[in-house]
Amino acid sequence: MNKTYIPKKNKHSSWYLIDAKNQTLGRICTNIASILKGKNNSSYTPNLINNAHIIIINASCVKVSGEKQSQKIYYRHSGRPGSLKKENFEQLQKRIPNRIIEKAVKGMLPKNILGRKLFTHLKVYSGALHPHKAQNPKILSLN
């Protein structure tokens, strides 16, 4: 009788540093989502939380292709009647550049408790400075 192999929970967390400068939004976010899910590991299990933490720097320098700079629209709603707010990519990049990457990655993660927990492992910073130097992150180049 064959037994199903279930990997043990890895207590060691790995930290990755990704520079988003001059990177395309969709391409960088798909790579981030797959690393957060643990698809880069040989012992990938879809129902287990991967202990990978990702730090994104230079989020304000991320690019989009084509006319998305002015045509891509982000919506937010406070829940009160008539309070739907619209903002295009350009305006949001000037106001809160971190939210662009956060929204894109969150949309690529599972829509359940696991996805919400994985999202907490993502740290996005608009500049080159970050407070996670003590974790000694591995620098990833996603080209």
Instruction: Count how many domains the chain has.
Output: 1
Answer whether residue 110 is part of any domain.
yes
Determine the number of helices (DSSP H) and then strands (DSSP E) in the chain: 5, 6
**Confidence label for 84 from pLDDT (cuts 50, 70 and 90):** very high
- pLDDT tens digits, 108-139: 999 999 999 999 999 999 999 999 999 999 99
Widest Cα–Cα separation across the chain: 61
Q: Tell me, what DSSP letter sits at residue 22?
A: T
CA–CA distance, 33 with 62 (Å, rounded to integer): 16
List C-alpha distances in Å: 123 to 27, 42, 108, 111, 118. Answer: 18, 24, 16, 19, 11
Answer whether residue 71 is part of any domain.
no
Tell me the CATH number at 39.
3.90.1180.10
Instruction: Give the helix ranges, DSSP H, for 3-129.
Output: 25-37, 68-71, 89-95, 97-108, 113-119
Answer whether residue 76 is part of any domain.
no
Q: Which domain holds residue 117?
A: 14-61+97-140
Nearest C-alpha neighbor of 52 from the set 127, 143, 109, 122: 122
Answer whether residue 101 is part of any domain.
yes
> Residue 112 is encoded by which pair of tokens?
């359940």
- pLDDT tens digits, 26-60: 999 999 999 999 999 888 888 888 899 999 999 99
Answer whether residue 107 is part of any domain.
yes
List C-alpha distances in Å: 27 to 43, 97, 132, 137, 143. Answer: 24, 17, 24, 21, 9
pTM for this structure?
0.90
CA–CA distance, 62 with 126 (Å, rounded to integer): 10
